[in-house]
Amino acid sequence: MAKTYRLRDEAVDALNAKRIKLIVERKEDVKESDLLGALIWKNLSALTAEDVKAYREAVLGKD
């Protein structure tokens, strides 16, 4: 099941910068969806509740 999410402008900028860097490195196109999928696949298992709390406080200004 596919799902659509909104990203903050800073995340979009970082994603685009990384995508361009990978395109230059690999000399072939890298789709944003592949980049996001790899990021989630590689890091989701290590994510902790403290990481989520720190993100909410630092980026979203919540909690």
pLDDT at 61: 93
What pTM was computed for the model?
Answer: 0.78
By C-alpha distance, which of 33, 30, 31, 29 is closest to 4?
A: 33
How is the chain split among helix, strand and coil, in percent rounded to 5? 70, 0, 30
Listed by start position, the domains of the chain span: 9-60
Predicted confidence (pLDDT) at residue 56 exceeds the cutoff of 90: yes
pLDDT at 23: 97
By C-alpha distance, which of 44, 53, 56 is closest to 8?
A: 56
Predicted confidence (pLDDT) at residue 38 exceeds the cutoff of 80: yes
Which residue type occupies 29? D
pLDDT band, residue 14 (cuts 50/70/90)? very high
Name residues whose C-beta falls within 8 Å of residue 62's C-beta, 6 or more positions apart in sequence. 56
